[in-house]
Structure 1
Amino acid sequence: MLSAKSLFQEILDNDASFRLFCSIAASGEAQGGWENGRIAALVPQSQRALAPKIARHGADEDKHGRIFHALLRKRGLEPVPVPPDTDYTMLLERHGIGLAHDKLKADRPLTVDDIVTYLAHSRVTEQRASEQMRLLLGLFGDHPDIGRAVRMISHDEDNHLAYCHEELLRLAHAGHGRTIQRVLRECALAEIRIYRDVSLAVMAHMGRVLRWSRLRNALLAAGIHALYLWERVMGWRRMVTLEMPKRRDALGGPAPKAAEFA
């Protein structure tokens, strides 16, 4: 039976596919950590109160990258190069979603519009991350090897999403509402397309590693295309709504000094 549980279990049980999965995840988290770190350093003076929260966001992403590397080490595995067609974070940047890396590498302060763009982009991508981790939490939250990692990352992603909602609502009340809605819509429509392409690429690579049949590859691709069609018609709207979260000030203060995952 082809189910999310059986699919992820197969990837988890095979060293080569697990190695690829963790390498892709670690690379994306590390890239997100760098981006947030640079944004925190370049926040304009009028938004300096955001800098510690953005830095906390980046620290969480760095931690997630280390968690995936730790999962590899526990299996005696080394990371592998990430195939370019599976690099979700870089493909988003290449398609103009979020802040360009050239801008982040410069030493000029960002503008308030840049912060709006960053938060809108994060609100969309953190929706995806939160949903993905909740899926894994439901499937493997009690798993003896990866359960702790899944629980930790899922909690953080929910915090990141709550923070994006709260800060975007604050900026909307300050007069940036129209810009926020425009950027959210642009980001959401681009993200669902890139997510489809990356999902197809990841499944193609996994299929080669695990020697899936043509039928199984075709069924998985059909499922990915069906999800994209639903998101293109109506699913994207869940990524652009804003509501005050139950978790207020989710990234306020320093990151908890919990023992590093190992």
Structure 2
Amino acid sequence: MLSARSLFQEIVDDDESFRLFCSIAAGGESQGGWENARIAALVPRSERDLAPRTARHGADEDMHGRVFHALLKKRGLAPVPVPADTDCTMILERHGIGLAHDRLRADRPLTVPDIVGYLAHSRVTEQRASEQMALLRRYFGDHPDVGRAVRMISGDEDNHLAYCHEELLRLAAAGHGRVIRRTLRACALAEIRIHRDVSLAVMAHVGRILGWPRARSALLTFGIHAVYACERAVGWRRMVSLRMPEHRNALGGPATPAPEFA
């Protein structure tokens, strides 16, 4: 029977598919770490209180990248280059979602609208990350090799999502509510489309590695398109709502040192 659990198990059990999965994950997390570190360095004076929390966000993401590399090392595997069609961060940037890397490389302070755009983009992508890690925690939280990493990263992604909710609500109360709503909607609609395309690309790469028959690949392709249709119709709304999180100031403390996985 084809299920999310059996699919993930097949990927984890095969060295080459696990290698690709961890390389893609590590690349995305490391990019997120760099982006948040640069944003923390460039926050405008009026938002200077945001800088330490953004830096903590970046430190967490960078640490997640190191954890995925450590999981590879533990299995005696080296990372592989990330295929361009699976690089979600850069694809989002090409579609104008989030702050462009050229902007972040410039030593010029960001503006408050830039910060709104960054937080809206993060709120949408952290929703996806939180949901995906919750799924992995459900299936692999007790796995002897990856369980500890999955549990830790899942908790961090929940904190990142809480941080985005709290900061966007603060900015909405300061008069930026209309821009936030408009930006969240644009980011959510772009993200679900790009998530579909990246998911199709990842499944194609994994399918070639694992030698999936055409019928199985077709079934997975249909499922990805079906999920997209549901998200395009109504599911995107979960990515644009804002509520004060139970865990306030989720990124207020120092980053937790990365545990040893290798």
Q: Which bracket does the TM-score occupy, shorter chain normalised?
A: over 0.9
SS at match of 1:50: helix
SS at match of 1:26: helix
Amino acid at match of 2:200: L
Equivalent in the alignment of 1:67: 67
Equivalent in the alignment of 1:221: 221
For the 8 Å contact 2:22–2:69, the answer to whether it is kept is yes
Q: Distance in 2 between matches of 1:66 and 1:176?
A: 36
Cα RMSD (Å): 0.8
Amino acid at match of 2:185: R
1:236 aligns with 2:250: no
Amino acid at match of 1:47: E
SS at match of 1:79: coil
Equivalent in the alignment of 1:181: 181
Amino acid at match of 2:132: Q
Q: Distance in 2 between matches of 1:54 and 1:8?
A: 31
Equivalent in the alignment of 2:90: 90
Determine what percentage of the aligned residue pairs are the same residue.
79
Amino acid at match of 2:204: A
Amino acid at match of 2:83: P
CA deviation string 1:69-116 (max 9, x = no partner): 000000000000010000011101111000011110100000000000
Equivalent in the alignment of 2:31: 31
Q: Distance in 2 between matches of 1:101 and 1:110?
A: 13
CA shift at 1:255, angstroms?
A: 1.4
CA deviation string 1:199-242 (max 9, x = no partner): 00000000000000000000000000000000000000000000
SS at match of 1:256: coil
Equivalent in the alignment of 2:138: 138
Amino acid at match of 2:141: G
Task: Name the CA shift for 1:218/1:120 in 2 (closer, same or farther; >3 Å).
Answer: same
Q: Distance in 2 between matches of 1:21 and 1:90?
A: 17
CA deviation string 1:164-190 (max 9, x = no partner): 000000000000000000000000000
Normalized against structure 1, the TM-score is what?
Answer: 0.99
Q: Distance in 2 between matches of 1:253 and 1:213?
A: 49
Equivalent in the alignment of 2:102: 102
> Which structure 2 residues correspond to residues 205-220 of structure 1 after superposition, within 5 A?
205-220=205-220
**Unpaired runs of 5+ in structure 2?**
none
For the 8 Å contact 2:42–2:110, the answer to whether it is kept is yes
CA shift at 1:253, angstroms?
A: 2.2
SS at match of 2:70: helix
CA shift at 1:256, angstroms?
A: 2.9
Normalized against structure 2, the TM-score is what?
Answer: 0.99
Q: Distance in 1 between matches of 2:249 and 2:257?
A: 18
CA deviation string 1:143-177 (max 9, x = no partner): 00000000000000000000000000000000000
Q: Distance in 1 between matches of 2:156 and 2:166?
A: 15
CA shift at 1:258, angstroms?
A: 6.0
**Unpaired runs of 5+ in structure 1?**
none
Equivalent in the alignment of 1:115: 115
For the 8 Å contact 2:172–2:180, the answer to whether it is kept is yes
Q: Distance in 1 between matches of 2:30 and 2:255?
A: 17
Equivalent in the alignment of 2:167: 167
CA shift at 1:34, angstroms?
A: 0.5
Task: Name the CA shift for 1:63/1:233 in 2 (closer, same or farther; >3 Å).
Answer: same
Q: Distance in 2 between matches of 1:161 and 1:81?
A: 28
Equivalent in the alignment of 2:247: 247
Q: Distance in 2 between matches of 1:256 and 1:79?
A: 24
CA shift at 1:120, angstroms?
A: 0.2
Equivalent in the alignment of 1:190: 190
Equivalent in the alignment of 2:50: 50
Amino acid at match of 1:189: L
